[in-house]
Amino acid sequence: MTAGRPRGRNLATLAPDVARRIRSAGGKAVPPKKRTFSADPELAKRAGAKGGANVKPARRNLTAAPGIASVMGRKGGLASAAKRRGKKAARDGRST
């Protein structure tokens, strides 16, 4: 592992040229004929509609329900803060 680089298992920890090569390969893994949505826009449209139908009506449009958006944002922020505190405590050798 290169000194000064963060530990982890993601592309951010790799050297930039290596990460770029891996990302590039990901886009080429499936041949164009097999990329279903690029070949059939109607199929993509139906799949998107199907996914949207599985979302509860109250959660479909957060601009129409600012109360729900506020609660969701607060929960996400609290979870992020707790995660950061846990990482900091672990780094400092403390328990949370």
Q: Regarding predicted confidence, which is higher, 57 or 58?
A: 57
The model carries a pTM of: 0.31
CA atoms within 13 A on the CB side of 67: 1
74 domain residue, yes or no? yes
Q: How many domains does the chain have?
A: 2
82 domain residue, yes or no? yes
Q: What is the mean pLDDT of residues 18-24?
A: 85
Of 14-18, 20-24, 65-69, 82-86, where does mean pLDDT reach its minimum?
Answer: 65-69
> Which residue matches tokens 């403390």?
94
d(CA 74, CA 68): 10
25 domain residue, yes or no? yes
One domain, residues 20 and 46: yes
Q: What is the mean pLDDT of residues 43-70?
A: 76
- For the chain, the average pLDDT equals 77
Which runs of consecutive H residues, i.e. helices, occur in the chain?
Answer: 16-28, 36-39, 41-53, 57-60, 66-92
Domain containing 83: what range?
66-96
Conformational region of residue 94, where left means phi above 0, alpha means psi within -120 to 50, and beta covers everything else = beta
